[in-house]
Amino acid sequence: PKNVGILAMEIYFPPTCLQQEVLEAHDGASKGKYTIGLGQDCMGFCTEVEDVISMSLTAVNSLLEKYSVDPKQIGRLEVGSETVIDKSKSIKTFLMQIFEKHGNTDIEGVDSTNACYGGTAALFNCVNWVESASWDGRYGLVVCTDSAVYAEGPARPTGGAAAVAMLVGPDAPIVFESKIRASHMSHVYDFYKPILDSEYPVVDGKLSQTCYLMALDACYKSLCNKYEKLEGKQFSMTDAAYFVFHSPYNKLVQKSFSRLLFNDFLRNASSIDESAKKILAPFESLTGDESYQSRDLEKTSQQLAKPLYDEKVQPTTLIPKQVGNMYTASLYAAFASLLHNKHNTLAGQRVIMFSYGSGLTATMFSLKFNEGQHPFSLSNIASVMNVAEKLESRHEFTPEKFIEILKLMEHRYGAKDFLTSKDCSLLAPGTYYLTEVDSKYRRFYAKK
């Protein structure tokens, strides 16, 4: 098979959200801390009728319907998630409800978990399967689904929730450049979930920021080396039209992009002009460690990168700024933002993706676009995802109500024998929702 990649996409995020400006005031944080300091506008969250299973059911069902894909045509289904509902039974098995109805139980794949990286692992599994001798000619389907919630404190405004579904196969409009890919993996305790009766992670915020940037540097260096061996010329920021980052919060994305600029400077790449070289010269002799600590370098490189950031990154930031950290879905929601904003002009372009999962696992990889053919065309993907309308039709909650919901969810996490309110009045038609968890912890969902 040729041009293996992403044929179709759908994104779902809850219709319930909270303005960061309002949360900031409620939390007594200084004005601008969440909106400018973290760079976030709004945060989506699940109410008691939604969870990672209902969101993934909604995204998968909607993708199959809107692109008219016969459920029998799916041969592999992979889920990436770090939201643990069951320590054994995969989310994938819940999604089988959709396929069993159509007589298709011949579907490989289970769940992949490592913080925000599981979705990328799932995507690679599907692409590798299509490219392998085991491929049976059918499509792969990848689902990234997460609900990011944090205990009270500075991490709470970096929550979010969403599910992204992606159809994988040959002759795709979004093609993997499989040779241009580099990983960095290491054992670190920056963000983890050792408390099995709580949904909240244990997080060392500062360490996780530094780990993210170190992983970014390592992946970028290695990707540049591989590209140079392959193509016989240097790689720099100018060789990709867009850079898409895993987005815990927008400020980290800004810092990441300026870090790439600093890397290009250190590599003496053609993307850095003479005046930029002069400005960055004082930072040339910093050790790696010093460079992560230097506020001066951070501010200087961010200023220098600003025009390029506006061109190459800003179009990818819409959904992550509006919905928050969607963990495994975050990178792909950023990618969906790019398709939403630029689908008309993407053909022929390259985008570099950076996936990061704490603990830590990271991969930088390259995708290339072509128009594609209906229904698997860039413009149809943008119109199916319908991002603007989904964002506009959300309902804003107060911080008090949000906190009340989180309290209820703390009790419900791992609990049995309860009915939800079944209140689906805010959900769009076609949305799945949780109705009951019975005395044997079995979960039941309905579709609006």
**Active site (catalytic) residues:** 82, 116, 246
Contacts 24+ apart (CB under 8 A), 204-210: 205/154, 205/155, 208/248, 208/358, 209/252, 209/255, 210/292
Coil vs helix vs strand at 252: helix
CA dist., res. 247 & res. 162, Å (int): 13
**Eight-state DSSP code of residue 380:** H
CA dist., res. 354 & res. 247, Å (int): 10
Identify which of residues 25 and 36 has a Cβ nearer to ligand ACO in the complex.
36
CA dist., res. 34 & res. 154, Å (int): 10
CA dist., res. 184 & res. 190, Å (int): 15
Binding status of residue 21 toward ligand ACO by CB under 6 A: no
Q: In angstroms, give the least distance from the CB of 411 to ligand ACO.
A: 23
Among 28, 30, 88, 273, binds ligand ACO (CB under 6 A): 30
- 331-360 positions binding ligand ACO, by CB under 6 A: 358
Q: In angstroms, give the least distance from the CB of 33 to ligand ACO.
A: 4
Identify which of residues 138 and 246 has a Cβ nearer to ligand ACO in the complex.
246
Which residues make Cβ contacts (< 8 Å) with residue 275, sequence separation at least 6? none
Among 25, 36, 388, 419, binds ligand ACO (CB under 6 A): 36
Give me the count of residues in the chain.
448
Q: What are phi and psi of 363, to 5 degrees?
A: -140, 140
Among 126, 203, 304, 405, binds ligand ACO (CB under 6 A): 203
Binding status of residue 210 toward ligand ACO by CB under 6 A: no
Contact 378, 343 (CB under 8 A): yes
What would the x/- binding string for ligand ACO be over residues 53 to 92, using CB under 6 A?
Answer: ----------------------------------------
Q: From the CA atom positions of the chain, what is the Rg in Å?
A: 21
Which residues make Cβ contacts (< 8 Å) with residue 372, sequence separation at least 6? 7, 171, 172, 173, 174, 378, 380
CA dist., res. 324 & res. 399, Å (int): 15
Structure tokens at 41: 């506008």
Among 212, 257, 365, 433, binds ligand ACO (CB under 6 A): 212
Among 22, 26, 27, 33, binds ligand ACO (CB under 6 A): 33
* Number of shown-chain residues binding ligand ACO (CB under 6 A): 24
Contact 83, 199 (CB under 8 A): yes
Among 9, 55, 91, 116, binds ligand ACO (CB under 6 A): 116
* Cβ neighbours, 10 Å, residue 447: 14
Identify which of residues 35 and 104 has a Cβ nearer to ligand ACO in the complex.
35
- 372-431 positions binding ligand ACO, by CB under 6 A: none
CA dist., res. 276 & res. 190, Å (int): 33
Binding status of residue 155 toward ligand ACO by CB under 6 A: yes
- Residue 9's closest CA among 47, 45, 62, 53? 62
Among 61, 112, 158, 337, binds ligand ACO (CB under 6 A): 158
Binding status of residue 257 toward ligand ACO by CB under 6 A: no
Among 66, 181, 193, 251, binds ligand ACO (CB under 6 A): 251
**Among the candidate windows 59-67, 154-162, 334-342, 392-400, which touches ligand ACO by CB under 6 A?**
154-162
Identify which of residues 95 and 360 has a Cβ nearer to ligand ACO in the complex.
360
Which residues make Cβ contacts (< 8 Å) with residue 5, sequence separation at least 6? 127, 168, 172, 173, 174, 175, 176, 367
Q: In angstroms, give the least distance from the CB of 115 to ligand ACO.
A: 7
Among 3, 22, 97, 205, binds ligand ACO (CB under 6 A): 205
Identify which of residues 104 and 325 has a Cβ nearer to ligand ACO in the complex.
325
By the criterion CB under 6 A, which residues form the site for ligand ACO?
Answer: 30-33, 36-38, 116, 154-155, 158, 191, 203, 205-206, 208-209, 212, 248-249, 251-252, 325, 358
